[in-house]
Amino acid sequence: MSRNAASLLVFELPVAFIRDHFLLPYTQRPALVNSSTLFQELVIRLVKYAFSNLPSDIARVFFKKEIALPFYRFRLLRHGLWPNNTPSWAPEEINQDGVNGIWLKSIKNCEPDIALYYIHGGGFTMGSSYFYLEFLASWASKLKDTGFKNPCVFAIDYTLVPDSKFPTQLNEAYQGYRVLHKLAGNAELVICGDSAGGNLALSLLLHLARPRGGCHVDKSLRRPSYATLISPWTVLVSPDNENTPSDFLDAHQLHRYGVLYSNSGDTSDVYKSPGLCEDEQWWEEAIPVAGMHIVYGNLEVFTAGIKKLVSRVEKVRNPGLRVTEKAAVHVWPVVQLFLGANVREREEGLEILAGVIAESLAQGKEMKIG
């Protein structure tokens, strides 16, 4: 640990905590202070410290299967669900066509009727499908509550930076979408992602519509039915990516990761920064059949960039766009599942995500019939 990092942890964090809680007038306190429990605030401050100061090769250890899976089981144990009442969402590891990931399916011998294709976040440098296991299994359960008989999830583990850089991750996302067709049969296909995974999800949609130079896209692949984007990182390097008093991300560190991912220093390519795509016709071709849902917090680093993307997509003919904005931090549905003070708070985001998918797909079918 560097001297500066140690100083921040030992001195600056406690001083900031005292200032924000006891010295500032209520109206001048960061929104995080006024809207969170002490535990939630402490965790978010520590995560921000780690994101800003820990090297990514150290931080990524906490997201690996060896850590994430026992943590998932511990949380099940706390709720009395493990080992005797483990939910049926047991992950099956998938290794096909150069793609690694996990496949979650509650009814093993039954065709799925909806499949989420999940691309995880983590600044391209960290994260894993196993870290999101509880979130994805809970999301699938909520989809079941809306009326789907056998929802399933395929979450990929793309190669992290710096082990490989662009276009490896986009190519893997595309190959994963091909594998999804083999796994999911005739199910409704929903492309999903958070943060850097949201960036890849948007880039994949653009790529499926108009393949990146020199690449081939299998024309037999079905167009996705829907897309759900949670706090997507729309532009790798932008003045719109601005630090806030409440969020746990750090814009300077994000820009470092973005340049590293870009592989050339050029972050303006729309397949790297999909928020820079201004071609309305291209977006019309890229947006899934029933539209897409963008979820974000207005206290996060990416707020301005996401709002610009929303404004751009709203100009597209029949985009089927749904937007959920909340006074919250980055990827708040995931954060609330882990840190929520009660069941209602933990499940709020999941219920919104599942409900919007169900409503949008139902409306899409009605439009086809009409």
Q: What is the mean pLDDT of the chain?
A: 92
> In the chain, what is the straight-line distance between the N-terminal and C-terminal CA atoms, in Å?
63
Band (pLDDT 50/70/90 cuts) for residue 99 is very high
Q: Is the model's pLDDT at 31 over the cut of 90?
A: no
Residue 250 domain-assigned? Answer: yes
The amino acid at 255: H
Q: Is the pLDDT of residue 266 over 60?
A: yes
CA torsion angle for 146, 147, 152, 154 (degrees, to 10)? -40
* Residue 3 located in a structural domain: no
The single-letter code of the amino acid at 2 is S
Which run of H or E residues covers position 159? none
The reported pLDDT for the residue numbered 340 is 94
* Domain boundaries, position 190: 58-369
Question: Domain total for the chain?
Answer: 1
Q: In DSSP terms, which residues pair with 116 in a beta bridge? A: 153, 190
Instruction: For the chain, give the percent of residues with pLDDT over 70.
Output: 93
Domain-embedded: residue 43: no
pLDDT in tens, 80-93: 665 554 556 789 99
Is residue 119 situated within a structural domain? yes
Q: Residue 277 in 3-state DSSP?
A: coil
pLDDT tens, residue by residue, 226-265: 999 999 999 999 999 999 999 999 999 999 999 999 999 9
- Quickly state the pLDDT bin for 107 (edges 50, 70, 90): confident
CATH assignment of the domain containing 215: 3.40.50.1820
Can you say whether residue 277 is alpha, beta or left, with left for phi > 0 and alpha for psi between -120 and 50 degrees?
beta
Question: 90 lies in a domain?
Answer: yes
In this predicted structure, what is the pLDDT of residue 84? 53
Q: Is residue 314 part of a domain?
A: yes
pTM for this predicted structure = 0.93
Q: How many CB atoms lie within 10 A of CB 226?
A: 26
Per-residue pLDDT, averaged over 196-214, amounts to 97
* Tokens 């409306």, located at residue: 363
Both tokens assigned to 78: 């706390």
For 122-153, the pLDDT digits (tens) are 999 999 999 999 999 999 999 999 999 999 99
